[in-house]
Structure 1
Amino acid sequence: MKLGITTFVTDEGMAPAALAKALEERGFESLFLAEHSHIPVNRETPYPAGGELGRPYYRAADPFVALAAAASVTSTLTLGTGISLLIQRDVIHTANSVASLSLISGGRVIYGVGVGWNREEMRNHGTDPRTRGALMDEQIRALREIWTKEQAEFHGKYVDFDPIFAWPKPYGVLPIYIGGNSDVAAARANRLGDGWLPNALPDPAAVPAQFAQLGGSGLPVTATSARPDPRVLAAYAEAGAERVTLAIPPEPAERTLRRLDEFAALVEAYR
């Protein structure tokens, strides 16, 4: 099982290039970055984790810019989004951004996508929260058309464009992982994804039931934002997880490096 890191890149935390270099030096396999373009001041949608919404949510750097910086100073680190809010993005621009990152990194990209939770944020991008799942289904199909066809076109209810030329194409196969913890997300991963990207559970005993949501499909699973609990990691390894990412907050370099050094024994155990 591979071990990576999930975090936000913000103006208050360690710079992405330095962070990525530190991860690769310590043997971490991957870096997954979260995305929020903004947080509406008059937000009514409750934070799914409960409590107050943390500062990183409204200070997040663009993940593709940050991951490009990470790509420039690393050679083996897998670069992922965990998650990208595809439903708030123009699909053609997004296809270009992700494929460009794949090109400059030599194919080290996993594009993790999700439908999100902040309805006010969605509406500011012109997205109807009620149809966001159907929209993302079409966007995923459209991305693959753009990435694989010389003349790509797509005609759906929410995504519609006539034949286009669009380069660069990704470096090799560019996997799309579907984020979300629900049965609906697991079903979408089985139907449209190259992998599933649920949040890691804090209770090791609950891990088998989480995997059962896939119905035995054998789809690769990356459990994100885990606590550094050896029992949890062991449960995911036993269940057959491809990867687990440990959550760290965006902090200045000294504190971040100290935290990564504390995780070093976990990395060694699963290297």
Structure 2
Amino acid sequence: MRIGAVFPQLEIGSDPAVVRSWAETVESAGYTHALAYDHVLGASPEHRPGWTGYTDKSLFHEVFVLFGYLAAVTTELELVTGVVILPQRQTALVAKQAAEVDVLSGGRLRLGVGIGWNQVEYDALGVPFKQRGAKLEEQVDLLRKLWADPVISYDGKFHQVEEAGLNPLPGRRIPIWFGGSAEAVLRRTGEIGDGWMPQSAPDDEARACVERIRQYAVEAGRDPAEIGFEARLSLGRLPEADWPAFVRGWREIGATHLGVNTMGMGLKSPADHAAVLRDVLPLLRES
């Protein structure tokens, strides 16, 4: 199991030296990847009674710019989006940004994508909220075609490209993983995804979801062994004594990756996040 660290962007602030120190500590500790969340805009709850979720006070570094920076200050750390809200972004631009990060990092990008939940953000970006699931599937197809060939033409329901292409190309098929728990996500992962990013406990429901993904893969004529699974361990949501069992449980279900999240632990500084990640890794490896 490859163990990565979740970038604590809600609690790390905007000092580039602090961001660099966190990344260097995580890499030197032995984590295999760093995963960052994505939101472009935060909605103010002032005139939205009952609003839940992220707000304008939630700090989010833009993932592709962040990864361009981390590509320069790390050497081996895989850079993972977890997840880019793909339907609210222009597909060709995402293809360009992802290809550039992959080129400048030496092939270290893994693109996690999802449909998101925040209609306020979609509206502000000028993108329809409905049909985002159907659009995402076409986006994945277009991304892969743009990464594969210097010049393409594409005539889809949501996209049209006429004899155009990216330069530079990434030189490989950048892995695309899906986040979310709806049945459509499980089907999508089995049929076209390189992996799935659940955020649940390693229980019977999680096991059933993994099995359904593998069955969807078989039905699509794919080898289910080629699909990866990255669980998310949020240290602040479980007693420390339960951390090893969580890791063992997901390992038994078939997780290939694990992301360790230190946000929500009440830590006082970004340095504390890095220190917790450094100190907990040996325990998780032995689990």
Shorter-chain TM-score bucket reads: 0.7 to 0.9
Query: Structure 2, unaligned stretches of length 5 or more?
Result: 218-223
1:37 aligns to what SS in structure 2? coil
Question: Alignment partner for residue 229 of structure 2, among 207, 221, 226?
Answer: 221
> Alpha-carbon deviations, 1:145-180, whole Å to 9, x = none?
111112122211111221103111114231111111
- The farther-off stretch of 10-19 and 184-193 is 10-19
> Alpha-carbon deviations, 1:41-78, whole Å to 9, x = none?
2586977xxxx535697320111111122111222211
Aligned partner letter, 1:223: A
The alpha-carbon deviation at position 224 of structure 1 amounts to: 3.0
CA contact (8 A) 1:36 1:57 kept: no
Match of 2:260 in 1: 246
Q: Size of the alignment, in residue pairs?
A: 265
Query: Structure 1, unaligned stretches of length 5 or more?
Result: none
- The farther-off stretch of 108-117 and 227-236 is 227-236
Aligned partner letter, 1:207: A
1:58 aligns to what SS in structure 2? coil
Aligned-pair identity in percent equals 23
Q: TM-score scaled to structure 1, two decimals?
A: 0.88
1:110 aligns to what SS in structure 2? strand
Distance 2:48 2:142 in 1: 32
Match of 2:220 in 1: none
CA contact (8 A) 1:8 1:35 kept: no
Match of 2:191 in 1: 191
> Alpha-carbon deviations, 1:207-229, whole Å to 9, x = none?
32231231444221112354471
Aligned partner letter, 1:12: G
| Segments of 4+ moved more than 4 angstroms | 42-47, 54-57, 203-206
User: Are 1:236 and 2:250 matched, yes or no?
Assistant: yes
Distance 1:157 1:57 in 2: 36
Match of 1:19 in 2: 22
Structure 1's 54 and 252: CA in aligned 2 closer, same or farther, altered over 3 A?
farther
Structure with more relative contact order (C-alpha pairs < 8 Å, separation 6 or more): 1
Distance 2:19 2:244 in 1: 27
Q: TM-score scaled to structure 2, two decimals?
A: 0.83
Match of 2:77 in 1: 77
1:75 aligns to what SS in structure 2? coil
The alpha-carbon deviation at position 258 of structure 1 amounts to: 2.6
The structure with the larger Rg is: 2
Structure 1's 242 and 91: CA in aligned 2 closer, same or farther, altered over 3 A?
same
Distance 2:149 2:165 in 1: 9
Structure 1's 147 and 269: CA in aligned 2 closer, same or farther, altered over 3 A?
same
- The farther-off stretch of 173-182 and 218-227 is 218-227
RMSD across aligned C-alpha pairs, in angstroms? 2.5
The alpha-carbon deviation at position 8 of structure 1 amounts to: 4.5
The alpha-carbon deviation at position 198 of structure 1 amounts to: 2.0
Aligned partner letter, 1:20: A
